[in-house]
């Protein structure tokens, strides 16, 4: 069987190799053989030995009988990579894994990329100055814009802005950007089989500006964007105060919340479903899902890392692919 998805190993100094091995071991043989790992084969084998999972690896995208297909990417300065240690070597390896996976996806050899966590500091040490996977993927694919969506069975949020200072994030929600974010979320849920997803847009300011008392962003930028989307037939409401909109979504009133900035969307989703939340990149010419946690360097090499988020990310990737 030929792989349908490609799982990048993330920073090899973190928990990526371990959670990948744990997740693969829980799969049915048929699913395992269509779930390729893009990373370093020697590192995977070391994780397999640590966990005692007894997986069988094969070099390439084709595997049978429960084997794990591996696209082996040689790691520069492998001897400088150590568990739990931030390094340029680890950052370079993580970058190369993603780069190779993007090439495979753009060539149509895999349908969806699933990413294990990388470390931003390590990538910066290696000379790759990106704020995270989403920005890196946009660069590698030449995408003009991208969107981060946090998905779970309990709560879903798509972000107008992500890795920016709060000061800059307050300026980013232009009419065009908010409309584009609503459209991206709407299209994603339609692809998942929801014909008319119910979308709520959170306000930027406390109480959505209280009619301009606490700021005019809702009046001048967010409300006009909502009205444009509504005229396109999208079922979208708002702006709704950020302190109530997520509660209303959790109770089933909305399928998706448009968050204006990183923490506005991340805090409620992680609070409600930390181990189940999947990070989905929208607006790219490729499909990508990811864990919604970091490299957990303090757990690397211990065998104690929880693979729950990766399992959910792979499950969604297989559904999308």
What DSSP string describes 15-28? Answer: THHHHHHHHHHHS-
d(CA 216, CA 76): 51
d(CA 108, CA 145): 21
Check pLDDT > 90 for residue 1.
no
Superfamily of domain 1-145+283-321: Isopropylmalate Dehydrogenase (3.40.718.10)
Q: Residues 304-316: what's their mean pLDDT?
A: 91
> Alpha-carbon torsion 247, 206, 157, 91, what sign?
negative
d(CA 46, CA 18): 9
E strands, 131-277, are: 147-151, 157-159, 199-202, 236-240, 256-259
> Alpha-carbon torsion 41, 46, 49, 53, what sign?
negative
Asked if 245 and 207 count as a contact pair (C-beta separation under 8 A), the reply is no
> Minimal CA–CA distance to 39: which of 16, 56, 14?
16
Least confident of 44-48, 134-138, 178-182: 134-138
Please report the pLDDT score of residue 79 as a whole number. Answer: 82
d(CA 174, CA 66): 49
Fold: same for 1-145+283-321 and 147-281: yes
**Residue 81 corresponds to which tokens in the numbers above?**
């990579």
Please report the pLDDT score of residue 43 as a whole number. Answer: 94
d(CA 9, CA 235): 38
Check pLDDT > 90 for residue 284.
yes
d(CA 295, CA 33): 25
Q: Residues 112-119: what's their mean pLDDT?
A: 95
d(CA 115, CA 81): 19
Residue with the two structure tokens 């396109």: 232
Residue 238: pLDDT band with limits 50, 70, 90: very high
Q: Which of 116-120, 243-247, 298-302 has the highest mean pLDDT?
A: 243-247
Residue 19: pLDDT band with limits 50, 70, 90: very high
Question: Could you tell me the end-to-end alpha-carbon distance of the chain, in angstroms, rounded to an integer?
Answer: 15
Residue 171: pLDDT band with limits 50, 70, 90: confident
CATH T-level topology, domain 147-281: Isopropylmalate Dehydrogenase (3.40.718)
Please report the pLDDT score of residue 301 as a whole number. Answer: 86
Please report the pLDDT score of residue 292 as a whole number. Answer: 80
Q: Is 173 exposed, middle or buried (0-12, 13-18, 19+ CB in 10 A)?
A: buried
Please report the pLDDT score of residue 313 as a whole number. Answer: 92
Backbone angles phi, psi at 288, to 5 degrees: -150, 135
Give 125's contacts (C-beta < 8 A, 6+ positions apart).
86, 87, 88, 91
Please report the pLDDT score of residue 36 as a whole number. Answer: 96
Packing angle of the helix pair 175-191, 223-231 (nearest 10 deg): 40
Q: Residues 126-145: what's their mean pLDDT?
A: 90
- Residue with the bigger pLDDT between 1 and 93: it is 93
Packing angle of the helix pair 133-141, 88-106 (nearest 10 deg): 50
Which sequence spans correspond to the domains of the chain? 1-145+283-321, 147-281
**Residue 165 corresponds to which tokens in the numbers above?**
């200072």
Q: Between β-strands 68-72 and 57-59, what pairing exists: parallel, antiparallel or unpaired? A: parallel
Asked if 80 and 89 count as a contact pair (C-beta separation under 8 A), the reply is yes
SS3 291: strand
Please report the pLDDT score of residue 44 as a whole number. Answer: 95
CA atoms within 13 A on the CB side of 310: 29
H/E element holding 8? Answer: strand 5-8
């Amino acid at each position: 069987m030929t792989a349908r998805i490609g799982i990048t190993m993330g920073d090899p100094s973190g928990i990526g190799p371990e959670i990948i091995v744990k997740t693969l071991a829980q799969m049915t043989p048929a699913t395992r053989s269509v779930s390729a790992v893009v990373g370093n084969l020697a590192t995977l084998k070391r994780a397999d030995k640590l966990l005692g999972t007894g997986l069988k690896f094969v070099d390439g995208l084709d595997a049978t009988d429960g084997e794990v297909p591996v696209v082996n990417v040689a790691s520069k300065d492998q001897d400088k990579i150590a568990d739990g240690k931030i390094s340029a070597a680890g950052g370079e390896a993580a970058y190369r894994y993603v780069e190779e996976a993007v090439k495979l996806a753009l060539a149509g050899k895999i349908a969806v990329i699933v990413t294990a966590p990388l470390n931003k500091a390590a990538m910066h040490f290696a000379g790759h100055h990106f704020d995270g996977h989403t920005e890196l993927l946009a660069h590698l694919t030449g995408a003009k814009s991208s969107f981060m969506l946090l998905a779970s069975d309990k709560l879903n949020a798509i972000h107008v802005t992500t890795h920016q200072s709060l000061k800059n994030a307050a300026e980013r929600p232009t009419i065009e950007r908010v409309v584009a974010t609503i459209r991206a979320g709407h299209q994603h849920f339609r692809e998942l089989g929801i014909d008319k997803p119910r979308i709520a847009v959170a306000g930027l300011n406390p109480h959505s500006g209280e009619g301009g008392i606490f700021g005019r962003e809702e009046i001048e930028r967010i409300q006009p964007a909502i009205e444009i989307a509504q005229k396109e037939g999208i079922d979208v409401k708002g702006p709704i105060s950020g302190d109530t909109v997520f509660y209303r979504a959790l109770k089933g009133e909305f399928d998706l919340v448009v968050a204006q900035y990183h923490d506005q969307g991340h805090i409620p989703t992680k609070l409600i479903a930390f181990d189940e939340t999947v990070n989905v990149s929208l607006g790219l010419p490729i499909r990508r899902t990811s864990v919604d946690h970091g490299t957990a360097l303090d757990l690397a090499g211990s065998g104690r890392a929880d693979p729950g988020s990766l399992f959910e990310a792979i499950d969604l990737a297989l559904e999308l692919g």
